[in-house]
Amino acid sequence: MKVEEYVLHKKMEAILSRVQKPARYVGGEWGSVMKDKKNVDLRFAFCFPDTYEVAMSHLGSRILYGLLNDQKGIWCERVCAPWIDMEAEMREAGLPLYGLESGDPLSDFDIIAFTLQYELSFSNILNMLDLGGIPVLAKDRTELKHIVACGGPCAYNPEPLADFVDLFMIGDGEEIMLEFTDLYRKAKREGWSKQEFLIAAAQIEGMYVPSLYEVKYHEDGTIESVTPTHGAPALVQKRIVKDLDTMYYPESFVVPSTDIVFDRAMIELFRGCPRGCRFCQAGHTYRPLRTKSKEVLLKQAQAVLKNSGYEEISLSSLSTSDYGELSGLTECMLDYCEPRHISLSLPSLRADSFSAELMERVQKTRKSGLTFAPEAGTQRLRDAINKNVTEEEILSTCATAFSGGWNSVKLYFMLGLPTETDEDVVGIAELVYKILQVWRENGSGKKRGLSINLATAYFVPKPFTPFQWAAQITPEEYLRRVHLLQANLHAKCVDYRYHESDLSRLEAVMARGDRRVGQALLEAH
């Protein structure tokens, strides 16, 4: 070990004894990929702008980590945002942000890529770059090294980050990633300038290079024009994996050394959603609907479970019960899982697709609370937002579940949806009361035996949805509706929680803002 490496090691050792959850920062987990730097010509930092527990729960990051490390000559490492206690210690000790695999500082990497899962994590991107010793503004990074790239669902409106990010990958990362890395490796071999590389990268379908577009504004501040330069395309078309059966999927996951949010194996049933709810960005941007075959899913599930040792597996999608072969898949999965004492989790079930048969199968290995998202309290508003689930279906599903032994329900709604009235708000409380009545008729008959966890979110209009131009209600109006709902909730078995208004207001600004919003991000940083 070199002297400077020894000093860094001793500093880190001292820091870890003073911070919460030190296992977040040490790496060395089962399944993490180590490579010899002498055999690597591209070092790729896969950065998640949130804590380790959130990063390690994200399926997309696990897929791309495996895909990149399967390539000869590429070493992809994970980089997570440190919690505030760790960041303070690192800054005081002069330790830069580093890759979990090698421990090398962020400045040693060629490509620094962030996944954009949530608008309010944008400020973490600036903080992570700064903590890693990387200039925050793209114009200050003049060399080919330290290319900052972003992808993920929030990249569909990349403009708030235009001043900081060199390029954005729009669409499915598996489809575009290797074209991007191949081009970079070519540029590095041949000694291209950063500008030459960005101009060439803009020709890759699905790649958006903000510095190659000139934006002009009207006097009132609205956008007059967006003009591409240097041959960049006028329209960036998202990339789509057409066949999920042949798409890369890892046979093993990195197994975290500490608890994470979703500590289990996962397989992806399909991408996209057949429902088309008017508020849902994922339901629109992940179109078209593409499914995996039952045979491929079983093979992937068995490989991941065998190689990771997880005792729970989740069937992941935007709407799990819409998978056409769910019944047969569940039966086959249980045949494999039951004798091995592995739990099967079915998240994102819909109230209109939950059957007694499915309930009975899931109950064999795992019984947990029901989770439904009616989103609105009245049928009129559910129809307006294209949430095709009826009150009858919700109550019928609850009756089926309660009679089968379930005794807890989670319900998710939004306040501030377009056309919402006080009647719709009170309708949420009325629906909750009807569910309680169904429990009394089909459950144990004791009011205290049922637990209803009710949550409301402050509606945030998202780009590329039918509601993208809708106004967001004011925080004051949102809180008035929260209090109206509270005043109509009388049952003791209901635990009601609501999102903070200031965070949702910021989320709306970041979701729909243009590149001038970047100045606010820079100021906040």
Q: Among residues 32, 148, 31, 18, which one has the least CA distance to residue 83?
A: 18
Nearest to residue 120, comparing CAs of 503, 489, 460? 503
Looking at 46-193, list the stretches that DSSP marks H as alpha helix, in order from N- to C-terminal side. Answer: 52-55, 59-69, 84-93, 122-131, 173-190
| pLDDT tens, per residue, the chain with 525 residues | 554 555 466 778 889 999 999 999 999 999 999 999 999 999 999 999 999 999 999 999 999 999 999 999 999 999 999 999 999 999 999 999 999 999 999 999 999 999 999 999 999 999 999 999 999 999 999 999 999 999 999 999 999 999 999 999 999 999 999 999 999 999 999 999 999 999 999 999 999 999 999 999 999 999 999 999 999 999 999 999 999 999 999 999 999 989 898 888 999 999 999 888 999 999 999 999 999 999 999 999 999 999 988 999 998 888 887 888 988 898 899 889 989 989 888 775 555 555 666 666 666 655 555 778 899 999 999 999 999 889 998 898 888 888 877 788 889 999 999 999 999 999 999 999 999 999 999 875 554 588 999 999 999 999 999 999 999 999 999 999 999 999 999 988 999 999 989 999 999 999 999 999 999 999 999
For the chain, the straight-line distance linking the first and the last C-alpha, in angstroms and rounded, comes to 36
Q: Which residue shows structure tokens 């925080």? A: 475
| DSSP conformational letter for 493 | T
- The residue type of 36 is D
Find where tokens 């050792």 sit.
Answer: 13
How far apart (Å, rounded) are the C-alpha atoms in residues 246 and 273? 20
Predicted TM-score (pTM) of the model is 0.92
Which has the closest alpha carbon to 138: 515, 507, 509?
515
What pairing do the DSSP bridges indicate for beta strands 494-498 and 451-458? parallel
Task: Determine if residue 395 is left, alpha or beta; phi over 0 gives left, psi from -120 to 50 gives alpha, anything else beta.
Answer: alpha
